[in-house]
Amino acid sequence: METLIEISLNGSSHQLGAQLSVAELVANLNLTGQAIAVAVNRNVIARQRWEETRLHAHDQVDVVRAIGGG
């Protein structure tokens, strides 16, 4: 049986597998390859660190889409 943890995802409660990486969360949300930014506990995580950055219970995760404009 997989252990689940609860995080806050864009302000809503979200359950996911323990020790999931930011990259795995992005894949689970079907956002791979899209222009997005991810912050964990208000710290922006560089895309090259998504694979190594693990999520923990009660983390506050914000996923935002980058949009162009001027």
pLDDT digits (tens, 9 = 90+) for 4-37: 999 999 999 999 998 899 999 999 999 999 999 9
Q: What percent of the chain has pLDDT over 70?
A: 96
Residue 21 lies in a domain: yes
pLDDT higher than threshold 80 for residue 61: yes
Q: Please, where are the H alpha helices in the chain?
A: 22-28
pLDDT value for 66: 76
Number of structural domains found in the chain? 1
Stated as kind and residue range, the H or E segment containing 5 is: strand 4-9
Identify the band that residue 2 occupies on the pLDDT scale cut at 50, 70 and 90. Answer: confident
CATH number of the domain residue 15 falls in: 3.10.20.30
51: Cβ contacts below 8 Å, ≥ 6 apart? 21, 22, 23
pLDDT value for 68: 72
Residue 70 lies in a domain: no
* Structural domain boundaries, residue 51: 4-65
pLDDT higher than threshold 90 for residue 63: yes
Residue 54 lies in a domain: yes
Question: In whole angstroms, what is the distance from residue 64 CA to residue 67 CA?
Answer: 9
